[in-house]
Amino acid sequence: MVCTSFIIKVTSRCNLNCSYCYMFNKGDTTFQSKPKIMLRETAILALNKIYSYSMKHKISEIDVVLHGGEPLLSGKEWVSWFLEKSEELKPANLRVAYCIQTNGTLLDNEWISIFKSRSVNIGISLDGEREIHDQNRIDHNGNGSYEKVTKGIDLLLKSGYKKWGVLVVADPEISGEDVYNHLLDLGVKNMDFLWPSYNHDNPPKKSEKSLAEYYISVFKAWYSDKNVEINIRWFSNVIRLLLSGNSRLDCVGPVPLNQVVIETDGSIEPADMLRTCRDGLTRLSLNVLENNIDELIQTDLFQKCLQNQELLPLNCKSCSIYKVCGGGYMADRWKTETGFSNSSVHCADLYDVITYIRYQVVEDLNDSNIKYQIIQE
């Protein structure tokens, strides 16, 4: 198993203070000791280690994701330099797809031009209408960010650039269908609805409504629209798993978690969301100054990521939706006493949503007299 997704934390700070942020507000404090912006020397070392690893393992295509914190805080000059330096250092036979995840508040036409020049995929965080979005996605003075984010989305629409989408953190207290329709009203065509970050040590608060209701309401609206121009990544991937057994996401399906993260200080770490499990869990004393990617892969924690399916309890592997669910995202399975050897904290909701999607897909295939084979346990 080789790694093809590399997240580079170009900043370790953010201009927002979102209540549910896994970087700053879920118990991990390691960001406090890291440089606010990655030094250029560190970035060069990181790129060289990524490219050396890719050539050693004969990898033909990788993803390089600029992340934070808020990566746009690094500034236009830094990001332009990074993209240019990456292309300069990149081996001729390696294809690199660039992505950036931003809260969207700093986006302007100059930023869009920079991203267009290198075909960078842009992910923007938006949780719904103003009153919903501004409940959690606030700045350090408590002010909402909806107006700035939607201004950035409007600039993207006017620019004609197509390689962008919106990420929503699901909330069972609100209507998922209303959020979906609001994104359509804004002109969003590519979207994803993220399962909120919880685990068995830090479970979601009890609610009269469920995440299953939220997701099913979104799915019903999207599926009934039958608009091929609108893509919801998680749903598309579940349908792909049902029909082919293949997953393009590490958060759903029986897949290894092989994401590599390089922090602003050059630390080499496994998947970012694991920091929500325990303060300092992802700190492995590895750094691009002295270590390479293969040394990360050999660590006990990274091996658990690669072999996370082997850690699942029997009731997960015998479940009728296991080959689609995969036990849920690894970080959501954490419990201090048993580590990752648990079903997801979202298990019941995942079961209800995936079962509903399977029923709808099977019904449509039968109605259309299309031959098929649904992936079963």
> 178-217: per-residue pLDDT in tens?
999 999 999 999 999 999 999 999 999 988 899 999 999 9
- Secondary-structure percent of the chain, ordered helix, strand, coil, rounded to 5: 45, 15, 45
Residues 282 and 353 in one domain: no
Encode pLDDT of 216-228 as tens digits: 999 999 999 999 9
Across all residues in the chain, what is the average pLDDT?
96
The CATH number assigned to the domain holding 145 equals 3.20.20.70
Residues 324 and 263 in one domain: no
- Least confident residue range of 52-56, 119-123, 189-193, 370-374: 370-374
Determine how many CB atoms are found less than 10 A away from the CB of residue 58: 9
Residues 202 and 332 in one domain: no
Number of domains, the chain: 2
Residue 272 has, within 13 A of its CA and on its CB side, a CA count of 20
Residues 70 and 216 in one domain: yes
Domain that holds residue 346: 311-367
Encode pLDDT of 311-369 as tens digits: 999 999 999 999 999 999 999 999 999 999 999 999 999 999 999 999 999 999 999 88
Residues 331 and 240 in one domain: no
Structure tokens at 300: 């006990």
Residues 197 and 320 in one domain: no
Structure tokens at 268: 């080499």
Say whether pLDDT at 377 is over 70: no
Residues 329 and 276 in one domain: no
Q: Looking at residues 116-125, what average pLDDT do you find?
A: 98
Binning pLDDT at 50, 70 and 90, where does residue 17 land? very high
Residues 301 and 350 in one domain: no
Q: Looking at residues 250-278, what average pLDDT do you find?
A: 96
Domain membership of residue 350 (yes or no) is yes
Q: Which of 306, 323, 341 is the last residue of a domain?
A: 306
Q: In what order do the strands lie in the sheet with 164-169?
A: 231-232, 190-194, 164-169, 121-125, 95-102, 61-67, 5-9, 260-262, 268-269
Residues 118 and 138 in one domain: yes
